[in-house]
Each structure stands twice: as structure tokens, then as C-alpha cells.
Amino acid sequence: MGHTLIEKVFGRKVGREVKPGDIITVDVDWCMIDDIMAPFAISKFEEMGFSKVWDPNKVVLIYDHFVPATQVDDSRHFRVADAFAEKYGVKNVHRTDGICHQLMTEAGYVKPGDIAFGTDSHTVTYGCVGAFSTGIGYTEMAGILGTGQLWVKVPESIKVVVDGTLPKNVTSKDVILRVIGDLTASGATYQSLEFSGSCIENMSVASRMTMSNMAVEAGAKCGIFVPDQKTCDYCNIDYSDEIKELYPDEDAVYSRVLHYQAEDLVPVMACPSLVDNIKPVSEIKGTKVDEVFLGSCTNGRLEDLQLAAKILKGKHVAPYLKFIVTPASRKIYLEALRDGTLEILSDAGAIITTPGCGLCCGRAGGILSDHEVVVATNNRNFLGRMGTSKVQIYLASPASAAATAIAGEITEAPLDLF
Amino acid sequence: MSNTFTAKIWVLGDDIDTDIILPTEYLALKSVEDMKPYAFSPLRPELAGLIQPGDMIVAGKNFGCGSSREQAPEVVKALGISCIVAKSYARIFFRNAINNGLLLIENQELRDVVTEGELAKVTPGEKIEYMGKTYEIANLPDNLMEILNAGGLVKAMRKRNGLD
Amino acid sequence: MGMTMAEKIIAAAAGVVSTKAGDIETVTLDRLMSNDGTTHLTIDMYNNKLKHPRIADTKKLVWIVDHNVPADSPKTAASQKKMRDFAREHGIDFYEGQGVCHQIMMENYVRPGELIFGADSHTCAYGALGAFGTGVGCTDYLYAMVTGTSWLLVPETIRFNLRGKLPKGVYARDLILTIIGKISANGANYKAMEFAGEGLHSLSIADRISICNLCVEAGAKTALMEVDEVAMDYLKEHGREPKACYQSDEDAVFAETYDIDLSTIVPIVAKPHFVDNVVPATESYGVKIDEAFLGSCNNGRIEDLRVGAAVIKGKKVAPKVRFLVVPASRAVYNQALKEGLLDIFMEAGAIVMNPNCSVCWGACQGVIGEGETLISTGTRNFKGRAGHKESFIYLASAATVTASAIAGQITTADRV
């Protein structure tokens, strides 16, 4: 019987064939700890009685939720994590470089076929390069720090096939929102979302990241893409036979197959306050908006900023509307600065903040108050996520977000703009 | 695990996400005790103050969806919740709860019949009795029972490291 | 008897021929600036305490959201929304996320000879263009907003005659800290601080704003500088004409007069927890820092960013130091972007933020924790101002702050 991509990743890791439902113990290639969770993971690690970190070179500490710090105890997290890094010889510490999920692939850590765990649910992002990655709690992270291992139940896979070419105002964000809407927020629980099809093959790695990032919003354990030449270029490695072998078998068994024709897809948004409450933008057009947020590990990459700049060039955001742009990493900020993207956005009235989680994690970066409406490119619109529980959050693509910022009300990017 | 207990029921809906269980702004408080008053605050700000040790939560599908914040099950446990009965759980929350020794029970029917404030009798791994009717419940897989029986992952690791 | 600059501006605003220190005058205001620090309180009083609320002259009002940008809590978001909605309803000039209020006022509104109230203590910065700016509370602001007028006790003036030029590597910030150290934190209470002399001509508008801005830290009611060619050029560049250019009369009476030779000034640091606790920077060498801040209405202008960028170009921020660089306005941000300064800072590892008050205000960005030390170009180093009550703030010039960010400890630019 053939194997799915995730079965192949795990099978190679444990050196034998695996099937869904198998409970296996895997050696961990990377573990990522963010600033919010670091003190908790560290204290659990110490409580567990370990005297050393199994492999300090495989541990990456990233400060992003609290950059810049907004509360007096925030910097305590930096100090605790810094002290841990020093004591146990952890060299991979990113203090102000951007969002953890952006950095784990951008800075060259996670590669195709790797196994990575992180103390944040959007750790699923690294599936964009054909790795298995998923979010865990800080207690399990503490266990990995000591042992280098974790148990995993091999998941069943749902195959999501997208063929064809997307309309110009539809991005990979619209695709994944649509998939989540169809699956529901719990429709992929415990399962792997495996993406394929000609549309996916033509997507940039950045666009794929948007989709793997949001797999968790359908409850998935991971969202994974077949690593190809593009992936290897991004990871700065050879497209070797070993990587090619990860390609899922023709006769692999999937619990479900979803098929989409890209030409049929339209711009959509996730409406308050559930990620699976998906509606075509045309149905909610005209909803007045107070703020637009472009950023996060979902959509804070260069191509997202460039797309917004293309739409905003020579225009200005609507009066009284706040348009907050938070690039996902220092590298992206610099690239967007050098290619003129930031200048266009700033001229259009954007408030450009420093790279970090920003508004997405709901501690700063553009918090809203009762009855305000925000259109955001990030991954969650949960009740109270960006302010009070009376804030209405719509999740959108960078294109829809930029068009909405100009109009001051929900709208999709007009096709003649491209 | 045949320690039968009786608990007062608090009823919640589907997709109770981790931002509802504990909003991000309270994640960095120094202790779980400090976080307790804010549990469930976006949805029911009064709830944390009303829950008494030993009470249980009965909820719909996808309980605990969202972030990997382990503060979520920790704060629920700290409130004294004896167990959660839900139609289904999000996977990270599920693992985190087990690792903290918080009992989670999966049951499809109970949520649709219970009334908040009523009592239910729970026999872990076997059944729940409510209003004269019995609802069967399954046991957890062995590897998880090991962690639960050890009293959570920290204790299991301490044992491994020869500390307890 | 002759009049001082302050007396002349007040006399004109009061419609009287002359006035003198100690008199109380009813004045008509030229401009009323308010920011998100207190405007929501003003609006509450306007809506709830007044029998027949009306605004005397909407065109004179400028409201600026700059303190918590972007908003960091539902509470600040709610007060900003209140301000935004009110401004929108009444057609008040409104800025949000465009920069620090005083910088926006300098770029867009302030004219020599004007009398301006700002609901913020650093309104005295407007003296850089020969305008009488003074900070007021929201009750005074509300009165002025509904009547267009207010009363003022005409201040005595301390006169500073400047001569010579600042040495290389020494900045306006060092000068004003030296002055505050000399006259103390309440040395100019209720008084105007007036700057004149040939030494003034060597100072840019940025330098002048930096000096006037900080005069409130000596207790001054306002700060004033004579309008010269440099000031006229700035106005022209920004498309404005003076209302009136005043100079103190030769026989004006000053409470005190200081002669300052700019060439004698050295890099200065104000140590915790008072602005007048100044020492030469050399005496603070080696103090370990956790954070450095280049920005604020005091030192977030393009000139300051140029100084910082020149110091850090090709170097890196010390590994554990958080170096916040916060342009004072969108115009400054855009200019810094075009000149490649933002590139230099980001490449060096700085945290470049959107224009706003940032850690100078201490609530929304770069808040420091228990036991931490910040070196800052902000306006104040009061205990707890930037975060935890047990933390430490040193104030210094853009050059010293940037050099310290590189070294991870207090040092001056000549040593990195």
C-alpha cells in the first residue's frame, strides 16, 4: 500500500513503514520556543530534573510576541530565556529578527523532511517546505529539551488538490480560507492536510506558507507541501533524490480528497468570530471598517507587502482608517525598504511597525475597542483576540485588505488593478 | 481509575478557543493563580468567579481549538474543574491537558441534554450518569494513560531522571 | 520700560499695548493642540459638565493621536476612538499615527508670535520658531476650547545669551541638559527661558526644538528663541509666514541672565531619576544598559537620525540590547527611508518603529522591566517613567545613545 507525504516523512525518520494510527517516538530535528512560552518551558524543564539540553544546536529561541515590550514584565521573559541560553549553550537566539514561524525557515533551520516542534500552534507553517511541524505545550517542549524525542500518532491525511490558475485578486489566503470553510474548524482534527495540484505547484514558497500556517485552523496536526525545486531553492539545498523520494505514492490512502479548480475561486473573508465562517467578499461588501492590519506569520511576507503596495500605489487609505503594516521579519522589512514597497505604503498612509507578531497576538500593535471593525491578514478572528469581545474581526488576503483600506469598507481588489 | 465523583455542570458551546479560555494579554502573568480570574473572560467574564472546585464543564465540538498555550488547560485545572466532557477536542489542547493531568472525556450526546447547574456522576473510563440515564465513555490510549497515571508529564520525566 | 519676547506675545494676544511680568492677562489663543494622553477626558467634560457646549473656533484645534500608536489595549483604543469620533463629527484637524504631536505642530502649524496651548507639557518646544507654547491641563484646555481665550500670568524671563559653536560631537541635547543641571529642575518655575545671541544662529531648527522642548524640565512655562534666517528658511520650506517676529527690547527686564559659551559644552548624561541630575558622560561610562531609545519630540528628527546612523553605520547593536529607533513623524520616517538611514538602523539590528511617542511615554513600546536600564533621547528620566518602578533611565544625545547601544554600556560616539 502506498504512502502519503506525511507517512513518508515519519517512515524515513523511524526507519520503517508507518501507517495512520501508529504511535511512534521521533527524534526531533528542531524545537522552537517563543518568548511568551520560554519561561514556562524552562521552569518545567528544570522541574523535570534535566541537567542538560539534549542538543543545544537544535533549539531555537525567538522573541517576537513581546517585541517591542508593552508591559513591565515582558522583558523578564527575555532575561529568563537569555539566562537559559547562556547556561545550556543555546546559540540560536533571535531577539528582534521577526516572527518565529517566518524565521524557522527563512533563517535556514527547517528543511524538507525535518521534524520540528514549537511552543506555538502556528508551528505548522514549516509544512511549506515539506517538513512535519506542529505546535505543542510547554511541558512537552520541556520533555523534548531533555530527551530530544516526542511521541506522535501518525495522522491520516486529507488531500487538498488545487488545479489551474487563480484569478488575479485571489491569493493563497483565499484558498486556505475556503478550504477551512469547507472542512470546518475541526474538520481536519488529528489529520495532515496535504496540498497538491498544478495551482499549488506554481505557488511561491511564501504563498504556500500562508496555507500551511492556517492548517491548524481546521484543527489539522500539520499542513504539508511536497518539496520541489522551488522549495529547495528557498532552503538553499539540492533537490536530491532523497527529497524526491518524499513524493506521495499514487496509491496512497487519504481519508478525504478535496478538489478545487482555481478559476472558480473568489476572494473570501473569515467573518466574526469563527475562522470557518467563510463568506465571499461580494456578500459582505460595504461593511464599514476602522482598521486594516497587514502582517503576521500568515501574510507578512514580501510578496504580501508588494501586492498591497501595487494596489495602494498613488492612493491613500480612507480618512480616519488606521492601516497597520507589520512585516514578518527584519529581512522582509529590509527587502521591502530597498525595493520601494515601504515607501509606497508609507506614502499611502500606512503605519509601519517593527517586525514581530504585532496585532495578531492581541497584546499591542493596533488593539481595538467596542464595535470597531478590523480587516486583518492574520490567522485568527476569535472573540476578543484583538481587543474587546465586541470587536469584529474579518480575516482576509493582502489584496482584499489593501483594497479595503482604500475604500474604508470591505471590498475586494478590483481585477483591473493588476 | 474508578473513582466516581459527582460534579456540578457548566455548559459551553462549540469551538471554545484558547483565546476564550485565556486571552493573550494574561498569558505572561507570573503564575496560573494570577491568570485564574480571566479564564473564559471574553465569553463569560463572570464564569471564573462562579466555578467551584470539583465542578465540571460540558461543551460541544472542538474544545480548546487555537493556540498551543498550555496556560489554557492549566488555568482550567487551577479553577478546580474535575473534568471536561466535550464532543471533541482540538489536538494540542488535548495533549496539553493530559500532560497536566486534566481529565478530558469525549462524549457526543451529553452536551445536547444537560442543563447548567445540574449534577452529573462521572466514573472515569466507564460512564457518566445524568438524570437517571447512563452515557458510556471510552478509556484513553495506553501511552496517554501512562502519562496520566504518572500524574502528568513533569512527574513522568522526574521519574525518568531518577528524582521521584 | 522695554518688554521681553514673552511679554510682547502675551500683550499682542491680550490686545494690550504693554504688559509686564506678574500681570494677569486674558489672551486669545492662536492654536490649541491636544493628544491622546488626555483628550478623552476633555471630551467627557465637554459632553457632561457644560450646559451649552460649543467650540469657539474649530479651525484652531489640532488633535493628534501619538501616545499609544498603534493602540496596545482596549482602554487606549476606546479613548482614541472617542477622540477620533469627536474630531470627525466637529471637523477638527486630526492626525493619527502620523507622529509625535509637537513635531507635527512644528511641521504644519506653529508660526512665530503665536500663543499656543497644548495639553502636553512639552508644548514649550514651539519657542524654537518664536511662538509662545505652553502646556495646560484638560480643564484649562476645555475652557480655551469653548471660549477661545484663557488667562495667563505673565512670566518673568531668564535670558540665555549664547555665543560660539558647539564642539564636534556635542549636541543641543548636551547644551540643554547642561543648562538644566545649572539652574535645576525647578530653576525656571513659572518663568520663560529665552535664548538669543550669535551662538543661536549656529543651531538648526532641530537643535532649537530639542532645547526649547526640554525647558519644561527646568520648570519653565515656556521657552522662546529669536526668529532669525534659519527659522525663516524653515517656515518658508514648510509654506508658512510668521504672525509676528518679536525680540526682547534692549531695556527689557530679565529675572536672570546667563552667558553661555557653546564651545565649552561637553557630552552630558542625566542620571536617574531627575533631569537635572547631570554629569559629563565620561562619569557614566561603563553603566550597563538593556535598552536604548532614539526618538521622541526631543530627538526624533531627521538630523538626530542622521547623527545616530553615522555612528552605527557598519556596526551592530550589542546582542542583548534593544535599540528602538522611532522617527518623530511620518515626514521624518519617509525622509530617513529615502536617505537610507532606516536601512542602516535595521541592518545594525535596531528596532525601527512607526512614528509615535514610544518609550518616552513608557506605556506602549519598549517598556523596560525590573532592574533594567534605558539610555534615552526622551524627555524624562523620572522613576518608573519607562516601565517598572524599579528601573533606571539615563538621558543623553542621539550620538551618545547610539554609541551606548553598540557598546551595551554607556559610552560616547568617539569610543565606538
B148 — pLDDT class (breaks 50, 70, 90): confident
Residue A44 CA from chain centroid, whole number: 26
CATH number, domain at B153? 3.20.19.10
Domain count, chain B: 1
Determine the residue of chain B that is closest to A50 in CA distance: B161
- Residue at A417 is within a domain: no
Task: Decide which of A218, A233, A262 is a domain's last residue.
Answer: A262
CATH number, domain at A101? 3.30.499.10
User: C-alpha angle C383/C388/C391, rounded to 5°?
Assistant: 55
Query: Chain B contact for A94, CB < 8 A?
Result: no
C145-180 b/e (C-beta count within 10 Å ≥ 16 → b): bbebebebebbbbbbbbbeebbeebbbbbbbbbbbb
For chain C, which chains pass the contact test of at least 3 CB pairs under 8 Å? Answer: A
Average pLDDT over residues A270-295: 98
Looking up cell 530565556 gives A81
**The domain containing residue B103 runs over which residues?**
5-160
Domain positions in chain C are 5-262, 268-415
Give yes or no: residues A238 and A321 share one domain.
Answer: no
Query: Chain A contact for B141, CB < 8 A?
Result: yes
Which residues from chain B sit within 8 angstroms of residue A136, using beta carbons? 68, 92, 95-96
User: Given this chain, do its domains C5-262 and C268-415 carry the same CATH topology?
Assistant: yes
CB contact residues (below 8 A), chain A span 270-289, against chain B = 274
CATH of C5-262, one of 3.30.499.10, 3.40.50.970, 3.20.20.70, 3.10.105.10: 3.30.499.10
Contact B90 A219 (CB under 8 A): yes
Supply the pLDDT for residue C366. Answer: 94
Nearest to A74 among C88, C319, C367 (CB): C367
Supply the pLDDT for residue B108. Answer: 95
C100-114 b/e (C-beta count within 10 Å ≥ 16 → b): bbbbbbbbbbbbbbb
Determine the residue of chain A that is closest to C94 in CA distance: A320
Average pLDDT over residues A93-99: 98
- Say if residue B28's pLDDT is above 90: no
CB contact residues (below 8 A), chain B span 38-97, against chain A = 41-43, 61-62, 65-71, 73, 88-92, 95-96
B-interface mutation test, from A34, A64, A139, most B Cβ less than 10 A away: A139
Q: Please count the helices (runs of H) and the strands (runs of E) in chain B.
A: 7, 7
Give yes or no: residues A252 and A279 share one domain.
Answer: no
B150 — pLDDT class (breaks 50, 70, 90): confident
The answer to whether residues C376 and C359 touch, using CB atoms and an 8 Å cutoff, is yes
Query: How many Cβ atoms are within 10 Å of A334's Cβ, its own excluded?
Result: 18
Give yes or no: residues A252 and A310 share one domain.
Answer: no
**Residue A343 to chain B, least CA–CA distance (Å):** 32
Provide ipTM, 2 decimals. Answer: 0.97
- Residue at A60 is within a domain: yes
- Say if residue A143's pLDDT is above 60: yes
Give residue C260's region: left, alpha or beta (phi > 0; psi -120 to 50).
Answer: beta
Reported as a single tens digit per residue, the pLDDT across B96-126 is 999 999 999 999 999 999 999 999 999 988 9
Determine the residue of chain A that is closest to C291 in CA distance: A75
Beta bridge partners of C61: C32
- Residue at A28 is within a domain: yes
Give yes or no: residues A296 and A220 share one domain.
Answer: no
Task: Decide which of A241, A262, A283 is a domain's last residue.
Answer: A262
Domain count, chain A: 2
3-state DSSP of C131-194: CEEEECCHHHHHHHHHHCEEEEECCCEEEEEEECCCCCCCCHHHHHHHHHHHHCCCCCCCCEEE
Give yes or no: residues A246 and A389 share one domain.
Answer: no
Task: Decide which of A262, A297, A329 is a domain's last residue.
Answer: A262
B30-51 b/e (C-beta count within 10 Å ≥ 16 → b): eebeebbebbbbbbeeeebeeb
Average pLDDT over residues A246-253: 97
Average pLDDT, chain A: 97
- Say if residue B1's pLDDT is above 50: no
- Residue at A344 is within a domain: yes
- Say if residue A7's pLDDT is above 60: yes
Give yes or no: residues A310 and A215 share one domain.
Answer: no
Give yes or no: residues A275 and A315 share one domain.
Answer: yes
- Say if residue A361's pLDDT is above 50: yes
Supply the pLDDT for residue A1. Answer: 81
Q: Please count the helices (runs of H) and the strands (runs of E) in chain C.
A: 13, 18
- Would you say the pTM of this structure is higher than 0.90? yes
Residue B21 CA from chain centroid, whole number: 11
- Say if residue B2's pLDDT is above 80: no
Task: Report in angstroms the alpha-carbon separations of A51 from A47, B21, B158, B163, C299.
Answer: 10, 34, 12, 12, 48
Regions in chain C scoring below 50 on pLDDT: none
> Torsion over CA of A65, A66, A68 and A73, rounded to 10 degrees?
170
- Residue at A287 is within a domain: yes
**The domain containing residue A312 runs over which residues?**
269-412
Share of chain A above pLDDT 70, in %: 100
The answer to whether residues A239 and A232 touch, using CB atoms and an 8 Å cutoff, is yes
B142 — pLDDT class (breaks 50, 70, 90): confident
Closest CA to C147 of C26, C17, C8: C26
Supply the pLDDT for residue A409. Answer: 98
Query: Chain B contact for A101, CB < 8 A?
Result: no
Contacts of A16 (CB under 8 A, 6+ apart): none
DSSP element (H, E) containing C11: helix C5-14
Give yes or no: residues A83 and A114 share one domain.
Answer: yes
Give yes or no: residues A198 and A294 share one domain.
Answer: no
Contact C70 A352 (CB under 8 A): no
Give yes or no: residues A342 and A204 share one domain.
Answer: no
Give yes or no: residues A109 and A29 share one domain.
Answer: yes
- Give the CATH class of C268-415: alpha beta
